[in-house]
Protein backbone atom coordinates (compact mmCIF):
# COMPACT_ATOMS: atom_id res chain seq x y z
CA UNK A 1 0.00 0.00 0.00
CA UNK A 2 1.33 3.44 -0.90
CA UNK A 3 2.11 5.87 1.92
CA UNK A 4 -0.78 8.11 2.87
CA UNK A 5 -0.42 11.76 2.03
CA UNK A 6 -0.22 14.35 4.76
CA UNK A 7 -2.79 16.49 2.95
CA UNK A 8 -5.42 13.97 4.06
CA UNK A 9 -5.27 15.25 7.60
CA UNK A 10 -3.37 18.52 7.63
CA UNK A 11 -6.56 20.56 7.43
CA UNK A 12 -8.28 18.73 10.31
CA UNK A 13 -8.52 20.45 13.72
CA UNK A 14 -7.51 17.18 15.38
CA UNK A 15 -4.04 17.40 13.83
CA UNK A 16 -3.47 21.11 14.21
CA UNK A 17 -0.50 22.00 16.31
CA UNK A 18 1.51 19.12 14.90
CA UNK A 19 4.52 19.77 12.72
CA UNK A 20 4.25 18.55 9.09
CA UNK A 21 6.74 15.76 9.70
CA UNK A 22 4.78 14.69 12.77
CA UNK A 23 1.62 14.52 10.70
CA UNK A 24 3.43 12.33 8.23
CA UNK A 25 4.71 10.16 11.01
CA UNK A 26 1.33 9.60 12.65
CA UNK A 27 0.00 8.66 9.21
CA UNK A 28 2.63 5.99 8.84
CA UNK A 29 0.94 3.87 11.50
CA UNK A 30 -2.55 4.43 10.06
CA UNK A 31 -4.35 2.36 7.51
CA UNK A 32 -6.99 3.75 5.21
CA UNK A 33 -10.22 1.97 4.27
CA UNK A 34 -13.32 2.59 2.24
CA UNK A 35 -16.72 1.56 3.49
CA UNK A 36 -19.71 1.31 1.21
CA UNK A 37 -22.99 2.87 2.28
CA UNK A 38 -24.74 0.77 4.94
CA UNK A 39 -21.68 -1.29 5.76
CA UNK A 40 -20.43 -1.64 9.34
CA UNK A 41 -17.17 -0.07 10.51
CA UNK A 42 -17.45 -1.83 13.85
CA UNK A 43 -20.14 -3.57 15.85
CA UNK A 44 -21.43 -3.08 19.36
CA UNK A 45 -19.88 -5.31 22.04
CA UNK A 46 -17.20 -6.67 19.77
CA UNK A 47 -13.54 -6.50 20.67
CA UNK A 48 -12.22 -2.98 20.12
CA UNK A 49 -9.16 -3.27 17.89
CA UNK A 50 -8.81 0.24 16.46
CA UNK A 51 -9.79 3.86 16.72
CA UNK A 52 -10.74 5.90 13.68
CA UNK A 53 -10.84 9.27 11.99
CA UNK A 54 -13.47 9.94 9.37
CA UNK A 55 -11.88 11.44 6.24
CA UNK A 56 -14.94 11.54 3.99
CA UNK A 57 -18.60 10.69 4.40
CA UNK A 58 -20.98 10.44 7.34
CA UNK A 59 -21.29 7.76 9.97
CA UNK A 60 -24.21 6.77 12.13
CA UNK A 61 -23.48 5.49 15.65
CA UNK A 62 -26.18 3.10 16.81
CA UNK A 63 -27.00 1.31 20.05
CA UNK A 64 -29.13 -1.80 19.78
CA UNK A 65 -31.18 -3.10 22.71
CA UNK A 66 -31.29 -6.79 23.66
CA UNK A 67 -34.70 -7.04 22.00
CA UNK A 68 -33.51 -5.50 18.76
CA UNK A 69 -34.67 -1.91 18.97
CA UNK A 70 -32.22 0.66 17.68
CA UNK A 71 -31.34 4.10 19.00
CA UNK A 72 -29.09 6.48 17.10
CA UNK A 73 -26.48 7.81 19.49
CA UNK A 74 -25.02 10.39 17.10
CA UNK A 75 -23.73 11.12 13.62
CA UNK A 76 -20.02 11.52 12.92
CA UNK A 77 -18.92 14.17 10.45
CA UNK A 78 -15.76 14.54 8.40
CA UNK A 79 -12.65 15.10 10.45
CA UNK A 80 -14.03 13.65 13.66
CA UNK A 81 -12.39 10.93 15.68
CA UNK A 82 -14.57 7.98 16.69
CA UNK A 83 -14.41 4.51 18.19
CA UNK A 84 -12.11 5.82 20.92
CA UNK A 85 -12.66 2.90 23.27
CA UNK A 86 -8.91 2.70 23.78
CA UNK A 87 -8.64 6.25 25.12
CA UNK A 88 -11.27 5.42 27.72
CA UNK A 89 -9.83 2.09 28.78
CA UNK A 90 -12.62 0.00 27.30
CA UNK A 91 -12.02 -3.27 25.54
CA UNK A 92 -15.24 -3.39 23.49
CA UNK A 93 -17.16 -0.86 21.45
CA UNK A 94 -20.26 0.35 23.30
CA UNK A 95 -22.14 0.96 20.03
CA UNK A 96 -22.01 0.13 16.34
CA UNK A 97 -20.84 2.43 13.55
CA UNK A 98 -22.53 2.30 10.15
CA UNK A 99 -21.61 4.20 7.00
CA UNK A 100 -24.53 6.52 6.23
CA UNK A 101 -22.97 7.13 2.81
CA UNK A 102 -19.80 5.81 1.18
CA UNK A 103 -16.97 6.66 3.56
CA UNK A 104 -13.21 6.90 3.77
CA UNK A 105 -11.73 6.20 7.16
CA UNK A 106 -8.31 6.11 8.78
CA UNK A 107 -7.72 3.50 11.47
CA UNK A 108 -5.01 3.05 14.09
CA UNK A 109 -4.54 -0.08 16.19
CA UNK A 110 -5.63 0.49 19.77
CA UNK A 111 -2.24 -0.54 21.07
CA UNK A 112 -0.79 2.64 19.62
CA UNK A 113 -3.05 4.97 21.62
CA UNK A 114 -0.85 5.43 24.69
CA UNK A 115 2.23 6.15 22.63
CA UNK A 116 0.45 8.54 20.28
CA UNK A 117 -1.22 10.39 23.15
CA UNK A 118 2.15 10.75 24.85
CA UNK A 119 4.10 11.85 21.80
CA UNK A 120 1.42 14.24 20.52
CA UNK A 121 -0.16 15.83 23.59
CA UNK A 122 -2.46 18.15 21.66
CA UNK A 123 -3.80 15.15 19.78
CA UNK A 124 -4.70 13.51 23.09
CA UNK A 125 -6.10 16.69 24.55
CA UNK A 126 -8.27 17.35 21.52
CA UNK A 127 -9.60 13.82 21.66
CA UNK A 128 -10.52 14.19 25.31
CA UNK A 129 -12.16 17.51 24.61
CA UNK A 130 -14.25 15.73 21.98
CA UNK A 131 -15.18 13.04 24.49
CA UNK A 132 -16.18 15.76 26.94
CA UNK A 133 -18.38 17.41 24.34
CA UNK A 134 -20.07 14.12 23.56
CA UNK A 135 -20.70 13.40 27.21
CA UNK A 136 -22.28 16.80 27.61
CA UNK A 137 -24.33 16.39 24.44
CA UNK A 138 -25.57 13.02 25.60
CA UNK A 139 -26.57 14.45 28.95
CA UNK A 140 -28.37 17.25 27.17
CA UNK A 141 -30.30 14.60 25.32
CA UNK A 142 -31.29 12.94 28.58
CA UNK A 143 -32.54 16.29 29.81
CA UNK A 144 -34.50 16.84 26.60
CA UNK A 145 -36.06 13.42 26.76
CA UNK A 146 -37.03 14.04 30.37
CA UNK A 147 -38.51 17.48 30.02
CA UNK A 148 -39.62 18.11 26.43
CA UNK A 149 -42.53 17.10 24.26
CA UNK A 150 -41.94 15.12 21.10
CA UNK A 151 -42.36 18.16 18.86
CA UNK A 152 -39.65 20.06 20.67
CA UNK A 153 -37.29 17.11 20.61
CA UNK A 154 -37.65 16.62 16.88
CA UNK A 155 -37.13 20.34 16.32
CA UNK A 156 -33.97 20.21 18.44
CA UNK A 157 -32.71 17.17 16.57
CA UNK A 158 -33.18 18.84 13.19
CA UNK A 159 -31.45 21.99 14.39
CA UNK A 160 -28.53 19.98 15.67
CA UNK A 161 -28.23 18.08 12.40
CA UNK A 162 -28.45 21.31 10.44
CA UNK A 163 -25.71 22.88 12.54
CA UNK A 164 -23.38 19.90 12.60
CA UNK A 165 -23.77 18.56 9.10
CA UNK A 166 -25.86 21.12 7.26
CA UNK A 167 -24.88 22.33 3.83
CA UNK A 168 -26.10 25.78 2.85
CA UNK A 169 -28.00 25.83 -0.42
CA UNK A 170 -29.99 28.64 -1.99
CA UNK A 171 -33.19 27.13 -0.57
CA UNK A 172 -31.97 26.67 3.02
CA UNK A 173 -29.76 24.39 5.10
CA UNK A 174 -29.80 20.88 3.71
CA UNK A 175 -28.86 17.89 5.81
CA UNK A 176 -25.92 16.44 4.02
CA UNK A 177 -26.76 12.73 3.95
CA UNK A 178 -29.79 10.50 3.46
CA UNK A 179 -31.90 10.49 6.59
CA UNK A 180 -35.27 8.77 6.88
CA UNK A 181 -38.25 9.48 9.12
CA UNK A 182 -37.31 6.28 10.91
CA UNK A 183 -33.80 7.64 11.57
CA UNK A 184 -35.18 10.84 13.05
CA UNK A 185 -37.53 8.78 15.19
CA UNK A 186 -34.59 6.76 16.51
CA UNK A 187 -32.78 9.97 17.43
CA UNK A 188 -35.70 11.42 19.34
CA UNK A 189 -37.40 8.47 20.97
CA UNK A 190 -40.62 8.53 18.99
CA UNK A 191 -42.14 6.71 16.01
CA UNK A 192 -41.69 7.33 12.31
CA UNK A 193 -45.42 8.09 12.10
CA UNK A 194 -45.22 10.98 14.52
CA UNK A 195 -42.11 12.33 12.77
CA UNK A 196 -43.89 12.13 9.44
CA UNK A 197 -46.87 14.06 10.77
CA UNK A 198 -44.62 16.76 12.25
CA UNK A 199 -42.57 17.20 9.09
CA UNK A 200 -45.73 17.40 6.99
CA UNK A 201 -47.09 20.11 9.25
CA UNK A 202 -43.82 22.04 9.20
CA UNK A 203 -43.63 21.78 5.44
CA UNK A 204 -47.15 23.22 5.17
CA UNK A 205 -45.96 26.11 7.32
CA UNK A 206 -42.88 26.70 5.16
CA UNK A 207 -40.44 25.88 7.95
CA UNK A 208 -38.80 23.03 6.06
CA UNK A 209 -38.92 21.23 2.77
CA UNK A 210 -38.45 17.49 2.80
CA UNK A 211 -38.40 14.57 0.46
CA UNK A 212 -37.52 10.94 0.60
CA UNK A 213 -34.53 10.65 2.96
CA UNK A 214 -33.93 14.36 2.72
CA UNK A 215 -34.68 17.38 4.89
CA UNK A 216 -33.88 21.04 4.25
CA UNK A 217 -34.40 23.61 6.96
CA UNK A 218 -35.74 26.81 5.44
CA UNK A 219 -36.62 28.80 8.53
CA UNK A 220 -34.28 27.84 11.36
CA UNK A 221 -35.54 30.67 13.48
CA UNK A 222 -39.08 29.39 13.63
CA UNK A 223 -37.72 25.92 14.34
CA UNK A 224 -35.87 27.37 17.33
CA UNK A 225 -39.11 28.90 18.54
CA UNK A 226 -40.82 25.51 18.26
CA UNK A 227 -37.97 23.79 20.08
CA UNK A 228 -38.35 26.18 23.00
CA UNK A 229 -42.10 26.31 23.03
CA UNK A 230 -43.03 24.79 26.35
CA UNK A 231 -46.72 23.99 26.59
CA UNK A 232 -46.71 23.38 30.29
CA UNK A 233 -44.88 25.27 32.92
Partner DNA sequence: GGCAGAATTTGCGCTGGCGCAAACTCGGGG
Partner DNA sequence: CCCCGAGTTTGCGCCAGCGCAAATTCTGCC
The span of 84-92, 106-114, 145-153, 159-167 binding DNA (CB under 7 A) equals 145-153
Give 111 or 132: the residue with its C-beta nearer to a second copy: 132
Q: How far is the CB of 2 from a second copy (least distance, A)?
A: 35
Of the CA atoms within 13 Å of residue 79, those in its CB half-sphere come to 13
Quick one: DSSP state of residue 47?
B
Helix, strand, coil share of the chain (percent; to 5): 45, 25, 30
- Binding site partner of 11, from a second copy, DNA, none, Cβ cut-off 5-8 A by kind: none
Residue 150 partner contact from DNA, a second copy, none using kind-dependent CB cut-offs of 5 to 8 Å: DNA
What gap in Å lies between CA 158 and CA 140, rounded to an integer?
Answer: 15
Q: Is 199 in the site for DNA (CB under 7 A)?
A: yes
Q: Does 226 bind DNA (CB under 7 A)?
A: no
| Furthest-apart CA atoms within the chain: distance in Å | 61
End-to-end CA, the chain = 61
Per partner kind, with CB cut-offs from 5 to 8 A, the member of DNA, a second copy, none near residue 213 is: DNA
Q: Which is nearer to a second copy, 6 or 128 (CB)?
A: 128
User: 159: Cβ–Cβ under 8 A, 6 or more apart, which residues?
Assistant: 217, 220, 223, 224, 227
User: Is the sign of the CA dihedral 104, 69, 180, 72 positive or negative?
Assistant: negative
Q: Which does 182 bind (CB under 5 to 8 A by kind): a second copy, DNA, none?
A: DNA
Minimal distance, residue 215 CB to DNA, in Å: 8
| 209 part of the interface to DNA, by CB under 7 A | no
User: Concatenated DSSP letters for 173-222?
Assistant: EEESS---HHHHHHHHTS-HHHHHHHHHHHHHTTSEEEETTEEEES-HHH
Q: How many residues bind DNA (CB under 7 A)?
A: 21
> Among 97, 101, 99, 120, which Cα is nearest to 30's?
120
Catalog residues that contact a second copy under the rule CB under 8 A: 63, 65, 67, 69, 71, 73, 85, 87-90, 94-95, 125-126, 128-129, 131-132, 134-136, 138-143, 145-147, 186, 188-189, 230, 233
Residues lying near DNA in the complex (CB under 7 A): 149-151, 180-182, 189-194, 196-197, 199-200, 210-213, 232
Amino acid sequence: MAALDRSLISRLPLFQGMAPEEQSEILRSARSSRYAKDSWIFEQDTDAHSFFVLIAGHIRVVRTTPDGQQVIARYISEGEIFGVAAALGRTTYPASAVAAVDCVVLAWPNGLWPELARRFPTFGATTYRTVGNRLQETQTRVVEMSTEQVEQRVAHALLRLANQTGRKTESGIEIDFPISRQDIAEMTGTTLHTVSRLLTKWEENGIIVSGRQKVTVKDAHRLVVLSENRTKG
